């Protein structure tokens, strides 16, 4: 019985000592407020050709950077189209009105509004 108790306490102690790697950070200059209420900050490159998101860290997700690159040949009207470099079938459409649509495998996953931060 003492062995089991000692083993359980040892495992609990070791689990408490495990440190998660630091979450990636970005210099956010914009954000998307999704219809479900979640706001995701992002870095918009100076040329607007890439959008960089830092995925939050959790117990089951180690976090990371997600980059969307503009598809220059796919521009139509006031909307620009981006693809995820990690998951090519994931797209992000951003229109001049600020409307944002997230599409994965041809299905709309979420919609939201773009906000660009102004410093000065």
- Record the pTM: 0.73
Query: In angstroms, how far is CA 91 from the centroid of its own chain?
Result: 13
Residue 4 within a domain: no
pLDDT score at 7: 52
Cβ proximity of 90 and 101 under 8 Å: no
Domain presence at residue 26? yes
Q: Measure the CA–CA gap between 11 and 74, rounded to whole angstroms.
A: 54
In angstroms, the CA 9 to CA 106 distance is: 49
Count of domains observed in the chain: 1
3-state secondary structure of 12: helix
Which pLDDT score, from 0 to 100, does residue 29 have? 93
Determine, yes or no, domain membership for 32.
Answer: yes
In a domain, 11, yes or no: no
What's residue 19's pLDDT?
55
Question: What is the CA angle 95-96-102, rounded to 5?
Answer: 20
The parts of the chain modelled with pLDDT lower than 50 are 13
2 assigned to some structural domain: no
98 domain-assigned: yes
Structural domain boundaries, residue 38 = 22-116
Q: What is the pLDDT of residue 56?
A: 67
Is residue 80 included in any domain, yes or no?
A: yes
- Is 67 within 8 Å of 84 (Cβ atoms)? yes
Residue 105: inside a domain: yes
pLDDT value at residue 3: 58
Q: Distance between CA atoms of 95 and 32, rounded to whole angstroms?
A: 12
* 3-class secondary-structure state, position 2: helix
Contact by Cβ (8 Å): 103, 109: yes
Predicted local distance difference test score (pLDDT) of residue 5: 52
């Amino acid at each position: 019985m003492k062995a089991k108790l000692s083993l359980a306490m040892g495992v609990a102690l070791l689990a408490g000592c495990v440190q998660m790697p630091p979450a990636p950070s970005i210099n956010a200059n914009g954000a998307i407020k999704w219809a479900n209420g979640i706001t995701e900050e992002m870095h918009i490159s100076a040329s607007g050709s890439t959008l960089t998101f830092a995925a939050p860290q959790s117990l089951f997700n180690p976090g990371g950077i997600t980059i969307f690159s503009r598809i220059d040949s796919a521009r139509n009207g006031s909307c620009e189209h981006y693809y995820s470099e990690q998951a090519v079938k994931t797209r992000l459409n951003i229109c001049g009105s600020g409307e944002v649509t997230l599409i994965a495998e041809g299905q709309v996953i979420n919609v939201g509004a773009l906000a660009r931060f102004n410093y000065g």
